[in-house]
Structure 1
Amino acid sequence: MGLLKAGIGALSGVLEDQWREYFYCESLSADVLVTKGVKRTSKRGSNKGNDNIISNGSIIAINEGQCMMIVEQGKVVEFSSESGEYVYDTSTEPSIMYGSDLSQGIMETFKQIGKRFTFGGEPAKDQRVYYFNKKEIIGNKYGTPAPVPFRVIDRNIGLDIDIAIRCHGEYSYKIIDPLLFYTNVCGNVEREYTRDTIDSQLKSELMTALQPAFAHISASGVRYSEIPAHTVALADALNKVLSEKWLATRGLAVVSFGISTLKASEEDEAMIKQLQRNAVMRDPGMAAAHLTGAQADAMIAAANNDAGAMSGFMGMNMAAQSGGVNTSQLYQLNEQNKQAQMAQAAMQNQTAKEAKAWTCTCGHENIGKFCSECGTKKPTGALLYTCDKCGWTPEDPTNPPKFCPECGDVFDENDVK
C-alpha cells in the first residue's frame, strides 16, 4: 500500500471514473492542530457505511499548509507533507514525503513507529486519514507570575549580580514532526485536536525554561534592558532548553518569542545605577570632575548660607580637609595615568614595528604591506629566493641582494621558489 501522486486534472480524466472515495480537509484554522479527514464517496464506492476504511484507488487531497498521514489500527503507515492529489494504491510500498518545511528527523521517526500491516491480504479494519496544521501557531500569550532571576554581567566594571525581572508577551510554535505529535500527544482523535488542549501545559513548561534561557543570554553579556533586541537569540535558547520535552517528545519547536514589557524592580534598577556610578569614579579624571562640580555647588550654597558666607566657607574648608584627597591630587593622578598609558602604547608600537619590519628585494626596510621604495608587496611567510636567470642562491635565501652578483638580474617575485 502506498501513495501515488495524481497528475494535474486527474479527477476530470480517467481517474474520475475509477476513484471510490475522496478524502480532503478544509482550511485549518489557527485553533485546530489535527483533524480527521472528511470522506466523500462516489457511485463506485464500496465503503459507504464505514468511514474508517480506505478503498484501493481512493483519492487523498492535501492543501498548502497541511500534511497528511494514514493510520491503520493505530499505527502510522503513510505520510505526505507535499500538497496535491494522491491515489491510494494497495499494490505499492509505503511512502513518506515530508518536503523541506518539516524536520528531517521524520524519516527516522517513521522507521521507529511506522509499521506495515498486511492482514493476510485483507484491508485493515480501521483506517483513518489525519491532517496536521503545518502553519505557525501564533498569539500564545505568556507572563511571569513571579519575578524571574536574571544575572547581570558587566565586564567593563566587574559587575556580576542577580536581579529579579518580570516580563510578558507572546510566542509562537509549530509542528515540525507530525509523527511524534500523533504518537505522543493527540493519538486517534475522533474529529479534531485543538490548541487549547495543550496550550496550558506548553505555557507552564515555557515559563520553566525561561530562567535557563535568560541565563544563556546574560552569559553572553546582554543586559536585561537589551533583551527585547535579542528575541531571536532568546528563541534559540528556549529551543535548546525545551528540545527534550518539545522537540524530541512532541515534535514541536518555538518559532518566535516576543517581549511586550520587561522590567526589573525599582530597588534593583537603583542598585545597578549606583554601582555603575561608583565604578565610574574609579577613573581619577572622572572623580576629579565630579568633585569639582560638587565643590562648585558647595561654594554657591556657602555664599547663600543663612549664617553668613564666611560660616559657609569655613564649613566647606573643614569638609575638604577631612576628605582625604582633593581635586588637584586627582587631576595629577589622572595625568600620570595618561602618561603611563602613552608610554605603554609607544612601547607596544615599537615592539610591533620591530616584529613587523621586513626587507624588500630592493634592499629597503619596511613595516607596511608594501615597500615604500619600489612598491613591492610584502612577502607572506618565509620566502626563498633563487635567481631565475642563472640559478644563483644567496647565503640567506630569505634576504637576497637587489641584483644577482653572477648575472646582474634584479631579484623580484619571479625569483621566489
Structure 2
Amino acid sequence: MGIIRAAAGAIGGSLADSWLEYITAGDMGPTTVLTKGVQVTRGKRGSNRKGTPDIISNGSRIEVGPNQMMILVDSGRIVDYCAEEGCYEVYLSSAPSMFNGELKASVRESFERFKFGGQPGRSQQVYFINLQEIRGIKFGTRNALQYFDNFYNAELFVRCHGSYSVKITDPIKFFMEVAARNATHVDFDDLGDQFNAEFLTALQTAIGQMAVDGVRISSLPSKSMELSKYMATVLDEDWTQARGMDICSVGIASISYDEESKALINMRNQGAMMSDPTIREGYVQAAVAKGLQDAGSNTAGAGQAYMAMGMGMQGAGNFMAAASASNAQQMQQNQQAAQQAAAQVQAENSWTCTCGTSNTGNFCTNCGGKKPAPTGSWTCSCGAVNTGNFCTNCGGKKPAPTGSWTCSCGTSNTGNFCTNCGNKRS
C-alpha cells in the first residue's frame, strides 16, 4: 500500500467525480499538532465503491496542504508519508513513495523503523501533522530559580514568565512516541503537564549555564536568542532525539526577584554609588541641609532647635566635616590623576616639527609639515607604516635590509659578524 502523485488534470471537472473518497486534513488550528483526515464524498463512479469507515479504497485521493505532513496508517502501522503539498492517489499495490519535502533525512530513518511490511490490513487511516512553528506556549516558574551573578557576587533567586515556540522536525517519531493511537485531534495543550515540567527543568538548567557563562541577571530579557540555543542544547536528547520536536524560540516577558535578592541588589548598587566621592559629598551636604530644614520647622522654636542641633552637631559635625574633607581630597586626587593620564597620553603622541611647533596630529598646525616616521619604522607594500617585524595591516613580513645575510643560527645581520653567535660572515 502506498501513494503516487495524482495527475494535474484530475483536480477539477469530471475527473474529480471518479474519486469516491477525497481526504483532507481536519481542524488544524495554530496550536494543533495532529488531526485525523476527513473523508469527503466526490461522486459514485470509479473503482472506489466501498465507503466503509477506516477503509481507504484503491484510487482514493489525499490532499496535502502547505506545512503539513500526511501519514498513511494501516492497522496501526505507518505504510507511507508525504510532506510535499499536492494531490496523491492511494494504490494498494504500490510501494511507499516517501515524499520527504523539506524534512531532514532522519525522517526516512524513522520511517524504516516504524514501517508496515506486510499486505494491507483491515483498516486504514490518514493523519496530518502540523509542521508550522507552534507559538505562544505560555510558561511560568512556580518556585524561584537560583542564579549566581558574578557582578553582584551573590546567589540570587528569580521568577520569570513568558512564552516559547516549538516545531515538529521528525513527524513520524512524534506520531509514534507522543501521539495517542486513538487520537483524532491533538492540541499542544493536550499533551499534559509533562512537557511543561520538562521545559521548566530545562529552563532552570539553561539559566544556570548562562550564569556560568557570566551573563548578568538583568540582561536575561534581552538574551532570548541565546536562551533558545541553550534550551535546544539541553532538550536535544529528550525532545529532538526521542520525540522529534525542537525548541525554536524562548521569550521572557518579565523577571522578578524575591525580597532577599532585592535587598542584596539594592545594597550592592548603593555601595557602588557611595564609592564615588562626588556622590558621597552630595549625600553629606543633603543630610546637613535636611537637618537645617527640620530644625527650622520645629514647632518648639527654631532658635532652640538650632541650639540643640548645634550641640548635637559638635560630635556629629566633626564627623561630617572630616567626611567632607576626605571626599574633597579624593575628588582632587581623582582629578589630578585624570589630568596626569591625559598629559601622559598627549606627551606620548606629541612630536616637534622642524619649525619648532609641538603637535599631536599627523601634520604640523603651523607649517603643515608631515609627522616624521618613527625611528626604525618601515613601510609595507600595502602602504602601512610599521615598527615591528610584521605589518599591522596585512600581516606582511618586514623586508630584509639591503646587503643583509643570514647566519647559520638563523639571525639576520648586516655587518661582518653575527650579532647573536659572533660567527663571521661567509
Provide TM-score, normalisation by structure 1: 0.72
Of residues 259, 266, 291 in structure 2, which corresponds to 1:273?
266
Provide the secondary structure at the position in 2 that maps to 1:87. Answer: strand
Of residues 42, 45, 51 in structure 2, which corresponds to 1:43?
45
Of residues 138, 142, 157 in structure 2, which corresponds to 1:141?
138
Provide the secondary structure at the position in 1 that maps to 2:275. Answer: coil
Letter of the 1:294 partner, please give it.
A
RMSD (Å), alpha carbons: 4.1
Task: Call closer, same or farther: CA 1:301–1:128 in 2, change over 3 Å.
Answer: same
Task: Call closer, same or farther: CA 1:17–1:271 in 2, change over 3 Å.
Answer: closer
Provide the secondary structure at the position in 2 that maps to 1:163. Answer: strand
Provide the secondary structure at the position in 2 that maps to 1:124. Answer: coil
Matches of 2:305 and 2:29 in 1, distance apart? 80
Task: Call closer, same or farther: CA 1:348–1:6 in 2, change over 3 Å.
Answer: farther
The 5 A counterparts of 1:6-155 are: 6-12=6-12, 16=16, 21-30=21-30, 32-40=32-40, 42-46=44-48, 48=50, 50-89=52-91, 93-100=95-102, 102=103, 105-111=106-112, 113-119=113-119, 123-154=120-151
Provide the secondary structure at the position in 2 that maps to 1:365. Answer: coil
Aligned to 1:307: 304
Note if contact 1:303-1:313 (Cα within 8 Å) is conserved in structure 2.
no
The 5 A counterparts of 1:127-206 are: 127-154=124-151, 159-189=152-182, 191-206=184-199
| Percent identity (aligned) | 30
Aligned to 1:407: none
Matches of 2:228 and 2:303 in 1, distance apart? 62
Letter of the 2:110 partner, please give it.
T
Matches of 1:117 and 1:245 in 2, distance apart? 29
Is 1:327 the counterpart of 2:324 in the alignment? yes
Matches of 2:260 and 2:183 in 1, distance apart? 54
Task: Call closer, same or farther: CA 1:249–1:311 in 2, change over 3 Å.
Answer: same
Of residues 227, 231, 238 in structure 1, which corresponds to 2:231?
238
Cα deviation, residue 62, structure 1: 0.6
Note if contact 1:73-1:125 (Cα within 8 Å) is conserved in structure 2.
yes
1:310-330 Cα deviation digits (max 9, x unpaired): 442342241243579522223
Is 1:378 the counterpart of 2:389 in the alignment? no
- Structure 1 unaligned segments of length 5 or more: list them: 355-361, 387-392, 398-417
Matches of 1:48 and 1:348 in 2, distance apart? 93
Cα deviation, residue 2, structure 1: 4.1
Provide the secondary structure at the position in 1 that maps to 2:11. Answer: helix
Task: Call closer, same or farther: CA 1:343–1:31 in 2, change over 3 Å.
Answer: closer
Cα deviation, residue 277, structure 1: 0.8
Matches of 2:16 and 2:319 in 1, distance apart? 102
Matches of 2:48 and 2:20 in 1, distance apart? 7
Cα deviation, residue 342, structure 1: 5.5
Cα deviation, residue 177, structure 1: 1.9
Letter of the 1:313 partner, please give it.
G
Matches of 2:277 and 2:404 in 1, distance apart? 53
Matches of 2:47 and 2:54 in 1, distance apart? 13
Provide the secondary structure at the position in 2 that maps to 1:168. Answer: strand
Aligned to 1:250: 243
1:263-291 Cα deviation digits (max 9, x unpaired): 22344324311221112222334333433
Matches of 2:77 and 2:349 in 1, distance apart? 70
Matches of 2:172 and 2:342 in 1, distance apart? 63
Provide TM-score, normalisation by structure 2: 0.71
Moved more, 338-347 or 142-151: 338-347
Aligned to 2:403: 395
1:78-134 Cα deviation digits (max 9, x unpaired): 22222111123456543333433x5554234334x2335143xxx334432211122
Note if contact 2:18-2:45 (Cα within 8 Å) is conserved in structure 1.
no
Note if contact 2:147-2:157 (Cα within 8 Å) is conserved in structure 1.
yes
Task: Call closer, same or farther: CA 1:385–1:49 in 2, change over 3 Å.
Answer: closer
Aligned to 1:294: 287
Moved more, 20-29 or 61-70: 20-29
Letter of the 1:75 partner, please give it.
R
Provide the secondary structure at the position in 2 that maps to 1:96. Answer: coil
Provide the secondary structure at the position in 1 that maps to 2:63. Answer: strand
Q: How many residues align?
A: 372
